[in-house]
Amino acid sequence: MASLLRAQLRLAVGVLTTLTLTVGSLPLLFVVSPSLGDVRVLGMPLPWVILAFAIYPVLVVLGWVYVRGAERNERAFADVVERS
Amino acid sequence: MSTPLAITAVVLVVVATIAIGTWGLRFSRTTSDFFVASRTVGPGLNASAIGGEYLSAASFLGVAGLVLAYGAEMLWYPVGWTAGYLVLLVLVAAPLRRSGAYTLPDFAETRLESRTVRIVSSVLVVAIGWLYLMPQFQGAGLALRTVTGAPSWVGGVVVAVVVVLNVLPGGMRSVTFVQAFQYWLKLTALLVPAFFLMLVWLGDGAASPADATGAVGTALVGSDQWALPISPGDPYVLYTTYSLIVATFLGTMGLPHVVVRFYTNPDGRAARRTTLVVLGLLGVFYVLPPVYGALGRIYAPDLVATGQSDTVVLELPARMIAGFGGELLAALTTAGAFAAFLSTSSGLTIAVAGVISQEVTSRRLSGITAFRVAAVLGVAVPLMLALMTSGVSVARAVGLAFAVAASTFCPLLVLGIWWPRLTDVGALAGLAVGGLGSGVAVVDTLLGLEHTGWTDALLAQPAAWTVPLAFLTMVLVSLATPRRRPAGVRRFLVRLHTPEAVALDRG
């Protein structure tokens, strides 16, 4: 049981760390290089492209990775319990 | 704007809401149906219902208004409201469903084996619920005034009455169908007009909204500032942005109407999958409001100067498209806005009424009557608050509810689910510190007190200091009171994390 809890916690911390490093670092990035506001993609300022559109698929993919990982951990645990 | 069409749209939404609610009523028989729809709702329907319930006045009207007025900085609101579901998925979704509790106070009592924690949690649920309901009623007043010229209080009263009518007979089960319908209505109501507005914009030469300067005196923020999520001139902007991120990322899991939805999933695995679908649904929806805000900068810049930027979603279609077509699209966005007020208010009312009836009214009355009395109470108080206070933007008021939830229930849930050493004393101390800290900021904002410098920044966005403080207090006080550790905590944690497929004595 302790091993399942540890595995799930490790997975959760991994996903949240990725979230912090990607999405969480954006405000700092924009402060460090405000010239990003001048970069245009298809006529839109780059920060707009990231925050208004590109960020949502990233969030869904992170969620999908987590759900897969969590279900794999649970299956592994169920196998161990049933064998014992 | 054409009054008859818009009024027809509002009436249609109200009638459809009541009709679907009544249809769902046929399935609603027991007290358990009232609170959690007897836990038999599939992931697709449940995810649409969660989306329908979650996308409130703040999402439908507020985001576009803030983006119009302040630019890219405000894109953090929809991003945070979506990312909040990712954090919820990762940290609490499946364990919360497996805990077998109906509400947040139920969870707190089962985990910590303490009546006192239960009572404090109940008070917080009602406080957060009311804080969240208030801007819904204000938004409804604003919307109805914009499209019909009716006084501001009418919209709020209409929404309150419909919510009570809808919740009284059917409870959670009927509301699940209503809210699933309302997600798709809200999406359509923004998507279809946005498509036509984009066509008009392309036909006009597709000028970038960032370059729009507006006529002299329209009070638009400068192009640089509007295009960049960090306004260069503001020394507190980094703090404010991160504080908003903390509040929205961590506050979602502590919202009473969000949490109550997780008990309607059949098991923990379904709870996770439902949350993943919700993430997708929210991502699709939140692409749209900023489009209205951006186009508003070109076609309706005067709304900023008159302080009516929250109405941009309602105003834009008729301004950009002349004649019947524009009026029809305007009626559609009005219908979507009312769907937003109704669905969020219904969900919050059920959550708040569930807690009030469990704690207060059920001592005197039977199950379903107690729930109905509590529902009326749950709506009346925030309606009064909405009529008395005004001037706080819809999205900002909702932001405060997130800050309180992040400072109280987030540490309680995260530590309660993952950390066996949390004690009742530690939880109480943390709830008190987080609740008082964020509570001071809420009262300060609602009273509209003026501050400058750091005091202003810290009170306007309290989450960045109240959340760590609440976590720290819970951990330190729990470590100092190891004897208060509940006897059954190991057993409880095993139940939270064990998949249902594994046979287990679930007590």
Residue B76, pLDDT > 70, answer: yes
Which residues 132-171 on chain B approach chain A with CB closer than 8 angstroms? none
In this structure, are residues B107 and B96 in contact, taking their beta carbons and an 8 Å threshold?
A: yes
- Domains along chain B with CATH numbers: 3-390 (1.20.1730.10)
SS (H, E, C) B52-104: HHHCCHHHHHHHHHHHHHHHHHHHHHHHHHHHHHHHHHHHCHHHHHHCCCCCH
- Give me the mean pLDDT over the B207-234 stretch: 66
Residue B212, amino acid = A
Does A37 contact chain B (CB < 8 Å)? yes
Q: Which residues of A touch B229 (CB under 8 A)?
A: 26-27, 30, 47, 51
Q: What is the structure's pLDDT at B231?
A: 67
Q: Which of B306, B329, B73, B13 is nearest to B198 (CA)?
A: B329
In this structure, are residues B183 and B55 in contact, taking their beta carbons and an 8 Å threshold?
A: yes
Does A79 contact chain B (CB < 8 Å)? no
Nearest to B86 among A5, A44, A63 (CB): A63
Q: Share the mean pLDDT of chain A.
A: 89
Residue B28, pLDDT > 60, answer: no
Q: What is the structure's pLDDT at B371?
A: 81
Q: What is the structure's pLDDT at B216?
A: 42
Does A23 contact chain B (CB < 8 Å)? yes
- Give me the mean pLDDT over the B81-102 stretch: 92
Does B290 contact chain A (CB < 8 Å)? yes
pLDDT in tens, B245-258: 999 999 999 998 88
pLDDT in tens, B330-373: 999 999 998 898 888 988 998 898 888 888 877 777 777 888 88
pLDDT in tens, A48-68: 888 888 999 999 999 999 999
Q: Which residues of A touch B293 (CB under 8 A)?
A: none
pLDDT in tens, B410-468: 999 999 999 999 999 999 999 999 999 999 999 888 887 878 888 888 988 899 999 99
Does A3 contact chain B (CB < 8 Å)? no
Q: What is the structure's pLDDT at B250?
A: 96
Q: What is the structure's pLDDT at B401?
A: 92
Lowest mean pLDDT of B221-235, B271-285, B407-421, B481-495, name the range: B221-235
Instruction: Give the residue on A whose Cα is nearest the Cα of B502.
Output: A78
Residue B157's pLDDT band (boundaries 50, 70, 90)? very high
Taking the C-alpha atoms of residue B328 and residue B281, their distance in angstroms, rounded to an integer, is: 25
Burial class (CB in 10 A: 0-12, 13-18, 19+), B181: buried
Q: Which residues of B touch A47 (CB under 8 A)?
A: 72, 227-229
pLDDT in tens, A10-24: 999 999 999 999 999
Residue B215's pLDDT band (boundaries 50, 70, 90)? very low
Q: Which residues of B touch A44 (CB under 8 A)?
A: 208, 210
Taking the C-alpha atoms of residue B40 and residue B261, their distance in angstroms, rounded to an integer, is: 11
β-bridge partners, A41? A44
Nearest to A37 among B79, B85, B228 (CB): B228
DSSP state of B221: P
H-state helical runs in B263-393: 268-286, 288-299, 302-305, 312-320, 323-359, 367-388
Q: What is the structure's pLDDT at B405?
A: 96
Nearest to A55 among B79, B237, B241 (CB): B79
The whole domain housing A50 covers 2-83
- Give me the mean pLDDT over the B172-183 stretch: 78
DSSP state of B450: -
- Give me the mean pLDDT over the B124-133 stretch: 93
Residue B33, pLDDT > 60, answer: no
Residue B38's pLDDT band (boundaries 50, 70, 90)? very low
Residue B138, amino acid = Q
Query: Using the beta-carbon criterion (under 8 Å), do A74 and B499 form an inter-chain contact?
Result: yes
The CB-side HSE value for B257 (13 A sphere, CA atoms) comes to 32
Q: Which of B9, B364, B397, B377 is nearest to B167 (CA)?
A: B377
Q: What is the structure's pLDDT at B507?
A: 46
Query: Using the beta-carbon criterion (under 8 Å), do B72 and A78 form an inter-chain contact?
Result: no
Q: What is the structure's pLDDT at A12?
A: 96
Q: For residue A20, how many other CB atoms are within 10 A of its CB? A: 12
Instruction: State percent of chain B over pLDDT 90.
Output: 44
The per-residue b/e assignment along B195-232, b for 16 or more CB within 10 angstroms, e otherwise, is ebbeeebeeeeeebbbebebeeebebbebbbbbbbbbe
Q: Number of structural domains, chain A?
A: 1
Q: What is the structure's pLDDT at A43?
A: 73
In this structure, are residues B387 and B118 in contact, taking their beta carbons and an 8 Å threshold?
A: no
Residue B278's pLDDT band (boundaries 50, 70, 90)? very high
- Which of B63, B86, B297 to mutate: most A Cβ within 10 Å? B86
Nearest to A24 among B245, B284, B290 (CB): B245
Q: Which residue has the higher pLDDT, B454 or B506?
A: B454
Query: Using the beta-carbon criterion (under 8 Å), do B279 and A59 form an inter-chain contact?
Result: yes
Phi and psi torsions of A41, nearest 5° = -120, 120
Which residues 48-77 on chain A approach chain B with CB closer than 8 angstroms? 48, 51-53, 55-57, 59-60, 62-64, 66-67, 70-71, 74-75, 77
Work out whether strand A40-41 and strand A44-45 pair parallel, antiparallel, or are unpaired: antiparallel
